[in-house]
Amino acid sequence: MGFFNRLKESLAKTRQSFVEKIDNLVHRRRAIDEELYEELEELLVQADVGVNTAADLVERVRRTVRERRVEEAGELKNILKEHIMEMLEGDSAPVNFSSVPPTVIMVVGVNGVGKTTTIGKLAYYYKSQGKKVLLGAADTFRAAAIDQLEIWAGRAGVELIKHREGADPAAVAFDSLQAAKARRADLLIIDTAGRLHTKSNLMEELKKVGRVLDRAMPGAPHEVLLVLDATTGQNAINQTRLFGEAVGVTGIALTKLDGSAKGGVVIAIKQSLDIPVKMIGIGEGIDDLRPFNAREFVDALFV
């Protein structure tokens, strides 16, 4: 099965809770009136698009209906699709590779979002693209985190740099970068401890890792990728905002889209915080993490 069909399948729950309800709404009501707009906004909020983004989208739809003199409610679905595409179109931004290797990606996120799994899949994806990839195990806090990353490194067929459990994460990051330079790696992906975004001391530790990387290679990390679980819906916005303030998140890896009815959060993240979704996870397979493509995403959602 091709990736687009797998994406379509992974968005089935979001489609049921969002697009199919919009279908029902526009077929149930022939006239375009204020009540219809209110119901449409309510459906968007329920799909975790977010209150402000839902209001903005409905206003855009309303304006287009006026400009085009649309009278049939059935035409609203395509107009909505058009505006969602507009909002997300600039989001098809893959990981930015540095002109001087290695490119360094620091991966952050709270516990339980699938961070280590995402790193393994990310390593596999770029290795299959012909890149030489190295992993750095800077999550020295959680028991078995290093072992788990080692298993994923083996699956992806890439090397892992590690210290003992409880070692200084910044020291691991530094050694990983030196190894990546010495081994002429194209890409270094650094795991960090999953942490509550509300714990300021843990956030300070993340900042320290970032400072050490920048001193060892000015401009590193080139990407700070925040792993979010799609099933958390609007809570993902809070996590993005707080991690962004602490370590300057440059992109999102959105996991577990296949288990969520809250895929609308992709639109909310882009509109509220203007941080691109760079990778999406649509299943448990090692090849189920891919770069986010806005057009594919919207087409699969509105199929």
Is 91 one of the annotated binding-site residues?
Answer: no
Is 227 one of the annotated binding-site residues?
Answer: no
Is 113 one of the annotated binding-site residues?
Answer: yes
Beta strands 277-281 and 187-192: pairing type?
unpaired
Residues ≥6 apart with Cβ < 8 Å to 191? 107, 115, 116, 119, 135, 136, 137, 138, 139, 145, 149
Euclidean distance between CA atoms 232 and 237, whole angstroms: 9
Is 192 one of the annotated binding-site residues?
Answer: yes
Is 257 one of the annotated binding-site residues?
Answer: yes
Is 250 one of the annotated binding-site residues?
Answer: no
Is 210 one of the annotated binding-site residues?
Answer: no
Provide the 10 A C-beta neighbour count for residue 45: 18
Is 140 one of the annotated binding-site residues?
Answer: no
Q: Which residues pair with 277 in a beta bridge?
A: 252
Residues ≥6 apart with Cβ < 8 Å to 23? 77
- Residue ranges of E strands in 142-201: 159-161, 187-192
Q: How many residues does the chain have?
A: 303
Is 187 one of the annotated binding-site residues?
Answer: no
194 φ, ψ (degrees, to nearest 5):
-65, 130
Is 53 one of the annotated binding-site residues?
Answer: no
- Strand, helix or coil for residue 127: helix
Could you identify the residue written with the tokens 């855009």?
A: 60
Task: Take residue 253 and report the two structure tokens written for it.
Answer: 């890896």
What is the 8-class DSSP label of residue 219? T
Contact 160, 179 (CB under 8 A): no
What is the 8-class DSSP label of residue 249? -
Contact 294, 88 (CB under 8 A): yes
Is 103 one of the annotated binding-site residues?
Answer: no
Beta strands 251-255 and 277-281: pairing type?
parallel
Binding site residues, as ranges?
109-116, 191-195, 255-258
Residue list for the binding site for GTP = 109-116, 191-195, 255-258
